[in-house]
Chains A and B, each alone.
Chain A
Amino acid sequence: MTLSLEGFRLPLTPFALELDVTLSAHVTAVFGPSGAGKTSLLEAVAGLRHPQRGRIVLSGRVLDDAAGGVRVPPRQRAVGYVTQDDSLFPHLSVAGNLRYGAGRGVARKAPLGEDRIVDTLGLASLLDRSPATLSGGERRRVALGRALLSTPEILLLDEPLSGLDRPLKVRVLEHLLKIKAAFPLPILYVTHEAAEVEALADEVVVLDAGHLVARGAPADVLRDGAPGRSDRHLAG
């Protein structure tokens, strides 16, 4: 899998997100301070925003081409987008949430298997619950499961550990590592925590004010000091 942004420009305030990059690692961390344009990048890949210029190409498939007028709608992109606030459907049970995107018409490959996803994320005992009764960590896991069940070609995770207290962070991180080990699925992982980058990512791209300022192996990039680097709260 490769995700390419070619001559990509998305106007934001007060700057524009401008990228020319091809990503092909298993887990790519998009790292940088708040307001660097990380979430906007995920939204563009998900098709919720469209570039003013340039193209987005996922595994040879053109998702956006501003010049050519191509705008593949979100429902046909096969992206598993997990938002920062997890966005569970409050009126559906956990099972209803998980199955919402299952069996979508656009899947190009075999589904990952509901049982396997439920097992990997430890969701079996939650299926009948309402999202309102779940803890923060459980909500994240359901949101991850829902995205996986939609048979995505790429997983877009927007700070999946933010807002959780430390023990929960560690547990959800374990589940993310399990997902990485169990499914050969590329992941674009947005975070502003260096420790998460080190724990999960194979490659990291550093964004600042809409521009790519560094990229490489996590150990190298983080050692050289990245802008907006925060404390290593997961260490130890």
Chain B
Amino acid sequence: MFELAVDVPVVWFTLRVAALAVLLLAPFGLALALLLARRRFPGKALLETLVSLPLVLPPVATGLLLLKFLGRRGPGGRAARSLFGVDLVFTWKAVVVAMMVMSLPLLVRTARVAFEEVNPRLEAVARTLGASEVRVLSTVTLPLASRGIAAGLLLAFARSLGEFGATILVAGNIPGRTTTIATAIYNDVQTGLDGRAYGLLAVSAALAFGAIFLSEVWLKRRTNA
């Protein structure tokens, strides 16, 4: 017997860090997607593999790599300390980084397909009409790829909301500080707070359903256009 309850602060925290992760990831991820869609260069296959690695590597293994990289003695951790004077691991910032790394492949793969579907001829014609590269990107490439980009961002957001394995290693599961929906469900089940676990289950199912549904709708409409 349990009473259904929604842990609102955890939901709110998860939504905010996931949104921040996608926001920070977007410029980098989209640039990477465009690069992979439009350019040929040595080492491209290697870069493609690295980008997709978080899809198939056990998330906990990715988390361990991140922990070593972002830890006090890791290169990322040392850089963050000397540049910004902050520690990353076991803080909300590490949650953001874990979400970014884990959702990178979904954003890049979806956006890349969207960019590849933009007819390069249209970009070429825009150039002959006097458009600079920035103008071609902002008035032709991005608008024509916008649905796929939006779908990719939404998928990345959904993936971030559900992130567990990498997060728990690099940010831990500190109630009120780094606990997200996913790690809270784990906590609640372990400590027998079934009502809270099911409440969060309902919330995350609704969020995931909404995000996937919307991204499917966007991708469909783009293909039919």
Which A residues lie at the B interface, using CB under 8 A?
A: 46-48, 73-81, 83, 85, 87, 89-91, 100-101, 104-106, 146-147, 150
Contact = CB atoms under 8 A, between A and B. Distances in A.
Interface stretch (B55-63, B119-127, B164-172, B199-207): B119-127
A39 B91 CA distance: 59
A74 B124 CA distance: 8
The list of the 6 closest CB pairs from A to B, nearest first, reads A104-B130, A101-B129, A74-B127, A81-B128, A87-B125, A74-B128
Contacts of B128: 46-48, 74-75, 77, 79-81, 101, 150
Interface in B88-127: 119, 121-122, 124-127
A74 B136 CA distance: 12
A100 B143 contact: no
Contact of B130 (A87, A90, A101): A101
B49 to A, nearest CB: 30
Contacts of B127: 47-48, 73-75
Contacts of B144: 90-91
| Interface residues on chain B, size class | 10 to 19
B150 to A, nearest CB: 14
Contacts of A47: 127-128
B132 to A, nearest CB: 6
Nearest to B119: A87
B130 A75 contact: yes
Given A89-B140, A91-B143, A83 B121 contact: yes
B122 to A, nearest CB: 5
Nearest to A105: B130
A35 B128 CA distance: 23
A74 B130 CA distance: 7
B121, B127, B139 — most chain A CB neighbours (10 Å):
B127
Nearest to A146: B129
Given A87-B121, A91-B144, A150 B129 contact: yes
A75 B140 contact: no
A108 to B, nearest CB: 12
B121, B122, B125 — most chain A CB neighbours (10 Å):
B125
B118 to A, nearest CB: 10
A78 B121 CA distance: 17
Contacts of A73: 127
Interface in B201-225: 225
Q: Is the interface of A mostly helix, strand, loop or mixed?
A: loop
A75 B132 contact: yes
Contacts of A79: 128
A155 B143 CA distance: 28
B131 interface: yes
B112 to A, nearest CB: 20
B129 A106 contact: no
Contacts of B143: 91
B131 A75 contact: yes
Contacts of B125: 81, 83, 87
Nearest to A96: B139
Given A81-B125, A83-B121, A91-B143, A106 B225 contact: no
Given A81-B128, A101-B129, A101-B131, 9 more contacts: A46-B128, A48-B127, A73-B127, A74-B124, A80-B128, A83-B125, A87-B122, A90-B144, A104-B130
Nearest to B144: A91
A89 B122 CA distance: 7
A32 B140 CA distance: 33
Given A89-B140, A91-B143, A91-B144, A104 B121 contact: no
A47 B130 CA distance: 12
B122 A150 contact: no
Nearest to B143: A91
Contacts of B119: 87
B225 A100 contact: no
Contacts of B122: 87, 89
A235 B132 CA distance: 43
B124, B128, B131, B144 — most chain A CB neighbours (10 Å):
B128
B122, B124, B129, B140 — most chain A CB neighbours (10 Å):
B129
6 contacts: A76-B130, A83-B125, A100-B129, A100-B131, A101-B131, A104-B130
